[in-house]
Amino acid sequence: MPVQAHTIVGRAVEREVVNTFIGSIERGPAIMVVEGESGIGKSVLWREGLEIARRRSFVVLDCRPIQAEAQLAFTALGDLLDAVPDDVFAGLPAPQRRALDVALLRAEPDGEELSHRAVAVGVVGALCALARTAPLVVGIDDEQWLDAASQRVLAFVLRRMREERIGVLVARRPDVGSGPWMRASWTGCCGHTSGRAWVDGRPHSSSAARGAIP
């Protein structure tokens, strides 16, 4: 019988890990990385994670970077923040809001060099404001194609997670890009030991979930 697009075959363990991970965001910051070779079903699990979060009325921000745009600064960040309501940005201090507006091409540059730190601090502020209204999931599929400017901002954000109900759900291929930034950034975050899963996918296996980010 043909498998329908929405039917997930197997993956019981991984799906349970994703489900548990999403639930853990209610208790504080969490990161999950689904890593594996092309075509093994990372995006299937990633999408299911976002759907679970939406069903629980979490806020979901997501992006799916592609190789052709990996050199374009702040592309992924722009996609991620696309669904953030204007009033969240309006609540940021003016220098952060202005830097974000310029980075996301909503405002003309004023001749000053763009402060990437102001952009990053603004993103922390915006995500924390959102997470006060409901648990927040930041979903990044194909993280290996994340542009460098967005990656630096997200690393900055991860290092500043404390008690916020913010979870980061990442799918990535292991052999491209610079995935270790996530481990390094997360290690710098204050001490939550729960809610960290590194899932090593194998096609339709039932027991590929493995341990925490070291």
Ligand X SMILES: Nc1ncnc2c1ncn2[C@@H]1O[C@H](COP(=O)(O)OP(=O)(O)OP(=O)(O)O)[C@@H](O)[C@H]1O
Cα–Cα distance list, 46 to 28, 34, 130 (Å): 20, 8, 21
Q: Which residue is nearest to Mg ion (CB)?
A: 43
20 binds, options ligand X, Mg ion, none, Cβ within 5 to 8 A by partner type: none
Helix count and strand count (H, E) for the chain: 8, 6
4 binds, options Mg ion, ligand X, none, Cβ within 5 to 8 A by partner type: none
| CB 200 to Mg ion: min, Å | 15
DSSP symbols for 139-176: EESSGGG--HHHHHHHHHHHHT-SS--EEEEEEE-TTS
Q: Return residues touching ligand X (CB under 6 A).
A: 3, 7-11, 36, 38-44, 142, 173, 204
173 binds, options Mg ion, ligand X, none, Cβ within 5 to 8 A by partner type: ligand X
Round to whole Å and give the CA distance between 180 and 81: 23
Other Cβ atoms less than 10 A from the Cβ of 178: the count is: 13
DSSP symbols for 13-52: HHHHHHHHHHHHGGGS-EEEEEE-STTSSHHHHHHHHHHH
Decide whether 38 or 207 has the Cβ nearer to Mg ion: 38
| CB 43 to Mg ion: min, Å | 3
| CB 13 to ligand X: min, Å | 12
Q: Which residue is nearest to ligand X (CB)?
A: 41
Q: Return residues touching Mg ion (CB under 5 A).
A: 42-43
Decide whether 18 or 121 has the Cβ nearer to ligand X: 18
Decide whether 43 or 115 has the Cβ nearer to Mg ion: 43
Q: Counting every residue, how long is the chain?
A: 214
